[in-house]
Amino acid sequence: MSQEYEEELRSERDYVAGLYARLDAERARVKAEYEAALGGNGVGAMERDVGVRALGRQVKRLDVVDNGLCFGRLDAVSGERSYIGRIGLFDEDDEYRPVLLDWRAPAARPFYTATGAHPEGLRRRRQFHTRGRRLLGFTDEDLGRPGGDAQGDAALLAAVNAPRGEGMRDIVATIQAEQDEIIRLDHPGVLVIEGGPGTGKTVVALHRVAYLLYTQRERMERHGALVVGPNPAFLHHIGRVLPSLGETDVVFTTTGDLVPGLHVTAEDGPEAARLKGSLTILDVLKAAVADRQRLPAEPVPIVLKDVTVRIDAETAEWARQEARDSGLPHNEARAVFTDIVTYVLTERAIGRIGKGWLSRDDKDEWESMRKGLLQDLAADEKFTATLDELWPVLTPEELLSSLYPSRDRLRAAGASPELWRADGEAWTVSDVPLLDELADLLGRDRTAEHAAERAAAAERKAQAEYAAGVFETMKLDREEMDEDVMLSAENLLYAEDLAERFVEHDTRTLVERAAADRDWTYRHVVVDEAQELSEMDWRVLMRRCAGRSFTVVGDLAQRRSAAGARSWGEMLAPYVADRWVYRSLTVNYRTPAEIMAVAAAVLAEFAPEVKAPESVRATGVRPWSRQVTADERATAIEEFVREEARRPGTSVVIGPPGVPGTVPASRTKGLEFDAVLVVEPAAILDAGAADLYVALTRATQRLGVLHQEPLPRALRGLAEVVRH
């Protein structure tokens, strides 16, 4: 290294050290405020909770930006310098002059978009190479003239060639121009990002969420964002990206977890998944609910004050029709059904009891008698049991679990026999949107809700009375207290204030509250591997975001679900019409050219109209194949695992179901590994060409294929390795 470089490096290290000193000071200040807020400082509990949450979010943001706080510098033609980093820092002694620009700030954008041909007023871009808090070195890119001494790809190539760790890394220091355009796109509706394997569509979507949380902080923080992924392994893989960018108000979930209290991973067969994913299942669900609104086969006798009245089919039919015409969900319409039935029964009973001496002109007597009869009905177990039979209170789980094992109920609901299963509660991912739909069709059980409200009101009243008693006790003890202390107490401890102190406020974080609330609506939703989502899945997600603000990530060529998307327009148009835009990513940053050539041959056979993404690099390492016998296969897999364990990075063995030591391709979607061994590709191909395409595109460095049966035609160009 030249002496000039060494001196410049020392200067940059001093500057970065100063940034970390500011970060530490800011962190200490916010933590002190946070701890003080926890103490209350005399404010009401509700205000305290709001303040604690806000400061808690600041503490988290400051705690996660240590690694690579500052990753670059921009030198303008005017001579001005700007440092770019994960968050913004300011010099409070110099009119809050920015000493570090947040990467999402408009002034930081040229760091990602300036080129020699379009320098955007810059003469140089400097990219830092860091490890933790230490600045190891830097690379300069001259932007003063096209074709100058540019080394802009150095940081990118270093990042994509580095061994993979346990989870996805952010790309904040190496965002490319086509990615930056998508991240900062100003579109209030649905943005569809499509790209082949390795194009970075997932990480771009996550950075877009971070950008929206920065530019729309006040709007976004009240509702948060939702990220939906294909499986728990994928969510674990991407889970560090947003926290590393200082953002934590995000809920991560799969479609199998969208109903609070359920965690579902099992999948239906293709035909059942297709049927449940289609919007035609809505008619089945409505019919299944209607089928539980029954009429009595025979009149049901109810004894009231020595008079027997009957719930007959005519009465129940009138009550059922009135309840249905109310437009209320099933459970809430039960009140209408009950009112009609009780009206008929009490009218009949009063008419018989008062026959010969009571007329409708005697309103007071009539109503008094009705009130007593209503109390008798409410306490009558047979009447309650009959209501439960004719119009039961249902939960989504109860209705669906009783539908699947009953061929009679499936037939009555107009459902396909393919939906039958012996265990009604053996939930699958395709059941989740049906359960969510039923939550709306059934509604809440208002009876239990009203009882809870009455109990809560009684509790609040008791707390207020207790607090008032404490206050009165303090007044009685006035002679024993210092006058100043008493005045202070009177100023602070009013009965309502005391009551509030006994009320438990919801101190959960936004993420905890949102994840537990089926009715929570998010400000923005990211959907990854969106080509797999069914029409019913989209209904669930649209309910979760009233503003219809989505970032949709997918690749139609990788669709494997029978209920998945064949066209983005067909899935989205019913909800957002013309409020969706499409962007594509065409550069493969993950898969080296040698491996992508193999995958592209498979793609050309099952989706010839789709162009494979172009790899940004080559490694010189050729993929290989090896034919083994059934007895040799297990040993060969063990050899691969053992060899890769000695190397840095990660590896995986992908195979068809039933092959020991392998995982299915579906569980590796969206993931990446340094080395991949694909076992029995012909069997994977039989399950679906998209699965083989996914398996072949997970590797960032090395790809091997192990096969007993002959290779599929698209893979016959692989170099065959023979071992003795």
Strand partners, 98: 90
Residue 148, marked binder: no
Whole-angstrom distance, CA of residue 387 vs CA of residue 398: 17
- The one-letter amino acid code at 180 reads D
Whole-angstrom distance, CA of residue 109 vs CA of residue 653: 40
- The one-letter amino acid code at 350 reads I
- The one-letter amino acid code at 274 reads R
SS3 524: strand
Residue 201, marked binder: yes
CB 154 within 8 A of CB 147: no
Structure tokens at 594: 């040698």
- In 370-501, the DSSP E strands lie at none
Measured CA to CA in angstroms, residue 709 lies from 368, 527, 633, 681, 722 at distances of: 86, 37, 11, 9, 16
Match 């499936």 to its residue by tokens: 410
Match 């000071």 to its residue by tokens: 25
Candidates 328, 95, 181; CA nearest to 338 is 328
- The one-letter amino acid code at 471 reads F
Residue 199, marked binder: yes
Whole-angstrom distance, CA of residue 652 vs CA of residue 678: 9
Q: What is the CA radius of gyration of the chain?
A: 33
Candidates 20, 157, 162; CA nearest to 83 is 20
Phi then psi for residue 134, to 5 deg, are -95, 130
- CB under 8 Å to 36, separation ≥6 — which residues? none
Region label for 198, one of left (φ > 0), alpha (ψ between -120 and 50) or beta (otherwise): left
Whole-angstrom distance, CA of residue 597 vs CA of residue 197: 12
The length of the chain, given as a count of residues? 724
**Rounded (10°) CA dihedral 75, 79, 85, 87:** -150
Whole-angstrom distance, CA of residue 44 vs CA of residue 49: 9
CB 711 within 8 A of CB 681: yes
Residue 356, marked binder: no
- The one-letter amino acid code at 25 reads A
Residue 239, marked binder: no
Task: Give ∠ CA 268-520-105 in degrees, rounded to 5.
Answer: 105
Match 């090896």 to its residue by tokens: 626
Residue 40, marked binder: no
How many helices (H) and strands (E) are present in the chain, helices listed first?
28, 21
Whole-angstrom distance, CA of residue 545 vs CA of residue 67: 33
- CB under 8 Å to 701, separation ≥6 — which residues? 592, 619, 621, 649, 674, 675
Candidates 453, 449, 463, 320; CA nearest to 389 is 320
Whole-angstrom distance, CA of residue 425 vs CA of residue 422: 9
Whole-angstrom distance, CA of residue 541 vs CA of residue 545: 7
Phi then psi for residue 659, to 5 deg, are -90, 115
Residue 196, marked binder: yes
SS3 346: helix
Match 């998944």 to its residue by tokens: 273
Whole-angstrom distance, CA of residue 229 vs CA of residue 615: 25
Sign of the CA dihedral with 525 first, then 526, 530, and 532 last: negative
Match 């604690």 to its residue by tokens: 52
In the annotated binding site, the residues are 195-202
In the annotated binding site for ATP, the residues are 195-202
